[in-house]
């Protein structure tokens, strides 16, 4: 926290922190995997670059360099003695002013937490797929907020989308844009497979520019599949051959039904399985990391003193 290792129970903030009142924070979710080559953080550089981009869009000054934050992520995994981990770097505005518009009196804080974290949508869901619904809540668009920023306040919209789905017995919800086209899940990007081709909504569909999304597109191309970024009408989800979510937390999760309508065979499809296998193969050694996505914790950790 702000450059020092501190115990979990001491990582507290003031109740008048700006972020608590107005959602003024930016963050990342990053996974560290136990691999055949030791602990590796998946696409650490890309995640921290997006953290800085998110801060820039809200004009928050990051008080550390990208290299320092990257090292802090490694150190946090080591200090917590984790074999695999979910890493949460977060920049937030602290106390200093109750004004909505932050000024120079407000402190800027950075924390990095590492913790154990299993499959976000369930281990069974990774294999057999999950049931989802179309949410009644539309995705917030760039007309109101810089959607490419992974900002804390944006996730109020995600809470409504995911919460509505879970209250109605579904594992997750899918949002649509103001035009009625497919956007994304509450916290995941989405892919549609039809006639052997992969389709995914473009950035203009009010989606987060997902790093796992980009990875899935790269792996799909590597496997010989065509990936098309285009607007997707809602009804295409009902007649898709396969559907899957991607995200740091969700990883690659198949979707077996939408609004009670079975997708394809009603279970994980062959193309989804191939991409999923290639993705997890990065960590068990079956897929060669041709893109330099794995950042070794062991070779570069320099744990900060307590």
Cβ contacts of 33 within 8 Å, gap of 6 or more: 39, 40, 42, 84, 282, 283, 294
Distance CA 20, CA 50 (A): 22
Find, among 223, 238, 249, 239, the residue nearest to 85 by Cα.
Answer: 249
User: What phi and psi values does residue 260 have, to the nearest 5 degrees?
Assistant: 80, 0
Cβ contacts of 167 within 8 Å, gap of 6 or more: none
Q: Which runs of E-coded beta strand occur in the chain?
A: 25-27, 30-35, 38-42, 85-93, 108-115, 130-134, 172-176, 182-185, 189-194, 197-200, 227-229, 242-247, 251-258, 261-262, 294-296
Distance CA 183, CA 178 (A): 9
Catalytic site residue from 49, 79, 127, 150? 150
Cβ contacts of 292 within 8 Å, gap of 6 or more: none
150 catalytically annotated: yes
Report how far apart, in Å, the C-alpha atoms of 4 and of each of 62, 65, 112, 303, 305 are.
Answer: 16, 15, 10, 10, 8
Cβ contacts of 84 within 8 Å, gap of 6 or more: 31, 32, 33, 34, 39, 116
Please calculate the CA angle 299-305-306 and round it to the nearest 5 degrees.
130
Residues designated as active site: 150
């Amino acid at each position: 926290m702000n450059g020092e290792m501190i115990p979990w129970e001491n990582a507290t903030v003031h109740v008048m922190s700006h972020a608590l009142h107005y959602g003024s924070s930016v963050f990342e979710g990053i996974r560290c995997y136990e691999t055949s080559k030791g602990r590796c953080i998946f696409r650490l550089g890309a995640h921290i670059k997006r953290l800085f981009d998110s801060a820039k869009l809200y004009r928050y000054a990051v008080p550390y360099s990208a290299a320092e934050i990257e090292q802090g992520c490694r150190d946090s995994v080591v200090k917590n003695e984790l074999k695999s981990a979910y890493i949460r770097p977060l920049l937030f505005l602290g106390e200093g002013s109750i004004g909505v518009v932050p000024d120079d009196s407000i402190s800027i804080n950075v924390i990095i937490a590492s913790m154990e974290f299993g499959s976000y949508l369930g281990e069974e869901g990774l294999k057999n797929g999950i049931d989802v619904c179309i949410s009644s809540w539309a995705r917030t668009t760039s007309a109101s907020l810089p959607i490419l920023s992974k900002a804390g306040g944006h996730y109020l919209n995600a809470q409504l989308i995911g919460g509505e789905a879970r209250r109605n017995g579904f594992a997750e919800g899918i949002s649509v844009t103001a035009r009625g086209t497919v956007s994304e899940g509450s916290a995941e990007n989405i892919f549609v497979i039809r006639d052997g081709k992969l389709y995914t909504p473009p950035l203009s569909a009010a989606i987060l520019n997902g790093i796992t999304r980009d990875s899935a597109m790269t792996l799909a191309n590597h496997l010989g599949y065509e990936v098309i970024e285009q607007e997707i009408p809602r009804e295409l989800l009902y007649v898709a051959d396969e559907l899957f979510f991607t995200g740091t937390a969700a990883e690659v999760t198949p979707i077996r039904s939408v609004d009670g309508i079975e997708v394809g065979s009603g279970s994980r499809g062959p193309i989804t399985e191939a991409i999923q296998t290639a993705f997890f193969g990065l960590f068990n050694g079956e897929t060669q990391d041709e893109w330099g996505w794995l950042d070794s914790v062991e070779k570069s950790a320099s744990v900060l003193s307590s």
